[in-house]
Amino acid sequence: LKRFWEENNMCIFCKIAAGEIPSSKVYEDEFCFAFKDINPQAPVHILLIPKAHIESMNEINDDNAEIIGEVMKAIPKVASLIPELKDGYRVISNCGKNAGQTVFHLHFHILGGSEMGEKIV
């Protein structure tokens, strides 16, 4: 049985950005949408996405560079809205199978709210 969002061409994050699937929205502008991750990996765990369907960082190119720039500019805006992020945060984007990407609509995890523990890099 297909979920209703799989019955047309919009992916789950497109549906969230369009308000067709409920989410805990924290920020929205013309290009971007940010909402709380349903399975938080830190005290604060927000997903920031472009409203446009871009599959992953592999799809970033000259044609969508303006959108990507707007998404990057939204990171400090989102962070400034969350008091728990004032002492810092980490941004992660999993790209492709080996990185464990599970939703193929570009998204940036914004994590914080406590010391992040051991760094990978």
- Spatial distance between the Cα atoms of 105 and 9, rounded to a whole number of angstroms: 12
53 binds, among ligand AMP, Zn ion, none (CB under 5 to 8 A by kind): Zn ion
Binding to Zn ion by residue 14, rule CB under 5 A? Answer: yes
Binding-residue pattern over the window 18 to 57 for ligand AMP, x denoting contact by CB under 6 A: -----x-------------xxx-------x----------
- Spatial distance between the Cα atoms of 103 and 86, rounded to a whole number of angstroms: 28
Backbone angles phi, psi at 25, to 5 degrees: -70, 135
Side chain identity at residue 1, one-letter code: L
**Total number of residues binding Zn ion (CB under 5 A)?**
5
CB of 94 to ligand AMP, least distance (A): 4
